[in-house]
């Protein structure tokens, strides 16, 4: 037998999730298109390489993820290990880390950080790579409070993946900056 109240709550949660996804995608698309227009890529300028487009999409992507992370609040899905912090959220009567709130704060801070940094960045690709590095650095910490078992030594699976991707981003950023210095500033940044 289907519980009508549980069904109503699950349907309501689904609509909230769809609404948040739509809001996030529209907001991210709006920001990305504004940045593209400001960089004059919409008029067919010659700076349409992958790294430049990635730089222009990074702030919008962070905003999409920030809004989408709020779905954990409505679906009661984003919780971590037990805690005594004042901002803990009660799941099943136990105070736990609110992972959705951590994801929201991380991505919203990244959004504003990338908009600020993108104005002065000269090396194409480094705005996106900063997003990549800071996102997985934050994810490393967040994965530390996830209620998952340890995989290896004192690390959880999500922490190991985040650590690996963080280092991939650092290596790529180092290579991009090195190539830019060799070219002696031939390219200019993308996010303006």
122 within domain boundaries: yes
Q: Is residue 172 part of a domain?
A: yes
Structure-derived torsion over alpha carbons of residues 160, 98, 20, 13, reported in degrees to the nearest 10:
110
What local confidence, expressed as pLDDT, does residue 187 receive? 54
pLDDT score for 62:
93
Of 88 and 5, more confident:
88
Give CA separation, 117 vs 1, 111, 112, 160, 174, in Å.
Answer: 55, 10, 9, 28, 17
Q: Which two tokens stand for residue 144?
A: 């530390």
Residue 190 belongs to some domain of the structure: no
- For residues 104 and 70, the answer to whether their CB atoms sit within 8 Å is yes
* Residue 187, in any domain of the structure: no
By three-state DSSP, how is residue 92 classified?
Answer: coil
Beta bridge partners of 106: none
d(CA 129, CA 32): 16
Which pTM does this prediction carry? Answer: 0.76
Q: Tokens 């280092």 appear where?
A: 167
pLDDT of residue 3: 45
41 belongs to a structural domain:
yes
Q: Is residue 191 part of a domain?
A: no
Q: Which domain holds residue 74?
A: 4-182
Tens-place pLDDT, residues 43-85: 555 556 788 888 888 999 999 999 888 887 777 677 888 899 9
Structure confidence at residue 9 as a pLDDT band (50, 70, 90): low
Contacts of 118 (CB under 8 A, 6+ apart): 35, 55, 58, 59, 127, 189, 190, 191, 192
Max mean pLDDT among 25-34, 36-45, 157-166 falls in 157-166
In a domain, 149, yes or no: yes
What percent of the chain shows pLDDT beyond 90? 27
Average pLDDT of the chain?
Answer: 80
Q: Could you tell me the sign of the dihedral formed by the alpha carbons of 99, 158, 147, 21, in that order?
A: positive
How many structural domains comprise the chain?
1
pLDDT at 152 > cutoff 80: no
């Amino acid at each position: 037998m289907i519980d009508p109240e549980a069904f109503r709550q699950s349907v309501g949660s689904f609509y909230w999730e769809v609404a948040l996804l739509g809001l996030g995608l529209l907001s991210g698309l709006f920001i990305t298109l504004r940045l593209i227009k400001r960089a004059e890529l919409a008029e067919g300028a010659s700076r349409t390489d992958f790294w430049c487009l990635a730089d222009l999409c990074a702030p919008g992507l962070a905003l999409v993820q920030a809004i989408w992370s709020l779905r954990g609040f409505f679906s009661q899905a984003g919780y971590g290990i037990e805690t005594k912090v004042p901002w803990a959220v009660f799941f099943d009567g136990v105070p736990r880390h609110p992972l959705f709130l951590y994801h929201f704060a991380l991505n919203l801070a990244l959004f504003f950080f990338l908009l600020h940094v993108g104005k002065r960045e000269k090396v194409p690709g480094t705005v996106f790579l900063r997003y990549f590095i800071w996102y997985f650095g934050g994810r490393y910490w967040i994965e530390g409070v996830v209620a998952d078992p340890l995989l290896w030594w004192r690390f959880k699976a999500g922490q190991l993946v985040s650590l690996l991707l963080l280092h991939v981003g650092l290596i790529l950023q180092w290579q991009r900056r090195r190539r830019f210095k060799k070219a002696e500033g031939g390219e200019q940044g993308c996010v303006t």
